[in-house]
Amino acid sequence: MFLGFDLVDISDMVASKVISAREVVSEVASNYEAKNQEIGAFVAVDLDRAFDTADRIDQAIVRREIYGRLLGVPFGVKDLEDVCGFTTSKGSALYRSDQASQTSSIMVERLIAQGAIVVGKTNTPEFGLRSETFNAVFGDTRNPLDLARTAGGSSGGSAAAISGGLIPLATGSDGGGSIRIPSAACGISGFKCSVGLVPVTPSKGSWIDLSSVGPMAATLKEIAYVLDEVVGVDERDFRSRERPFGLFYQYWASQRSPVRILASKTLGYAPTTPEVSKAFDSAVALVEAQGIAVEMVEDVLVEDPLEPFMTLALSYTLFGVEDDLKDSGWELIEPQTREWLGYVTELTAQDLLRAQGAAHEISKRVAEKMQGFDLLMTPTCASIPPTLIAHDKAEPADANWVRFTYPFNLTRAPAATVPFQLDKESFPIGVQLVGRVGRDLELMAFGGFMEALFSSVM
């Protein structure tokens, strides 16, 4: 935990002058110096800028000229997202030499407006396409829980920075599990909102119907607190939605117990390792011991929906970068990325529509399976995070380890992950909680209950 406090406490302490924003940024600087080289969470920082911002906040607090629910809270920005003054490299040599952005994303704007302090950019795989955070420009992001393992992806830099205690808050995006996977891998909680709840600044190549952006922090308490400041309509995003009728923080605090849970250890196609299987069984037993009815099923889906997911995700990505790949651009991207994007150049409009139709059918099936249940509970990942590989000598990690998350980008349902640890010697797993479509607040309330329950035995 950063400074021994959560971000809610940090903001309150800065506002009441118990500590100064400068002292908070000093802690960031110290953590960065001590830890970032071995973890590889940040790819760019500007501590001078952060200190200047902190000084302005401290002075405004003394003069009683400032208000914000995130005063003095330092945060990192995933390197797929714009923040004024930093280059958005997208983890690629194709963009690493671009000029610094002149604008910030809508979410970053809203965080800054509440007094949060930008520290720098966090690592991501090239174009956010891998489930392990590695790229040829900045290298690996290592898992703070075990430096020999990946931090997951694609928001791995953000998750590792939080789990490693470098910062309390970061931004993330989740188009196929990119918040949930690294959160689970690094032993923290994560939350994927319904698409449009947190608005995005439109850009060519956005994963239109798949991806949600949102804050990342160690606990659902902190995530809920920040979500209340970043949700709501923005005219720049035609998909953006009105604020929910209620506050995430209040729903989290209710820690509402679900009554009936549908649980699946495979979703019908994704076997788990014995380690994850044993931990998940223990988590289910703990839930049942609270008097909650849990029904185990293994036919949530008929087959792995990887093909329609990859068709959509890679088509969106290629559309975003195709102009920059002309001439020598293809030679600047990584071989695996080149292979994937080359695959979708052969697809037709019919293939894309077929994939969208498959997403609709999957959503209908999941909704039918969940009738009468408060939520669906699965492992977040099929194994603990893989060990790091020599990227020039070995194949990528087995994709089986992340086959539990992308179905719920296809369905557009909100989904969370909360950590569960079988015992002190075992690696924590993530337990995925999938809510009903549009029921983000409800899922946060259930998530608060489940997180507190699991943390009581960790």
- pLDDT tens digits, residue range 163-178? 999 999 999 999 999 9
β-partners of residue 419 are 430
Domain range annotation of the chain: 2-306+348-455, 307-344
Query: Does the annotation mark 78 as catalytic?
Result: yes
- pLDDT (mean) for 377-390: 92
Is residue 404's pLDDT more than 80? yes
- From the centroid of its chain, how far is CA 422? 23
Q: Residue 2 pLDDT > 80, yes or no?
A: no
Summarize the confidence of residues 246-271 as an average pLDDT.
97
Given the residues 154, 155, 173, 189, the one annotated as active site: 154
- CATH domain 2-306+348-455 topology: Amidase signature (AS) enzymes (3.90.1300)
Residue 395 has pLDDT above 60, yes or no: no
* CA dist., res. 368 & res. 359, Å (int): 14
Kindly report, residue by residue over 281-297, the tens digit of the pLDDT: 999 999 999 999 999 99
Q: Which of 20, 92, 155, 178 is catalytic?
A: 178
pTM: 0.97
> In sequence order, which residues have a C-beta less than 8 Å from that of residue 252 and are 6 or more positions away?
220, 221, 224, 225, 444, 445, 447, 448
- Three-state SS annotation for the chain: CHHHCCHHHHHHHHHCCCCCHHHHHHHHHHHHHHHHHHHCCEEEECHHHHHHHHHHHHHHHHCCCCCCCCCCCEEEEECCCCCCCCCCCCCCCCCCCCCCCCCCCHHHHHHHHCCCEEEEEECCCHHHCCCCCEECCCEECEECCEEEEECCCCCHHHHHHHHCCCCCEEEEEECCCCCHHHHHHCCCCEEECCCCCCCCCCCCCCCCCCCEEEEECCCHHHHHHHHHHHCCCCCCCCCCCCCCCCCHHHHHHHCCCCCEEEECCCCCCCCCCHHHHHHHHHHHHHHHCCCCEEEECCCCCCCCCHHHHHHHHHHHHHHHHHHHHCCCHHHHCCHHHHHHHHHHCCCCHHHHHHHHHHHHHHHHHHHHHCCCCCEEEEECCCCCCCECCCCCCCCCCCHHHHCCCCHHHHCCCCEEEEEECCCCCCCCEEEEEECCCCCHHHHHHHHHHHHHHHHCCC
Mean per-residue pLDDT, 379-407: 81
Catalytic hit among 78, 90, 121, 265: 78
Note the pLDDT of residue 302: 92
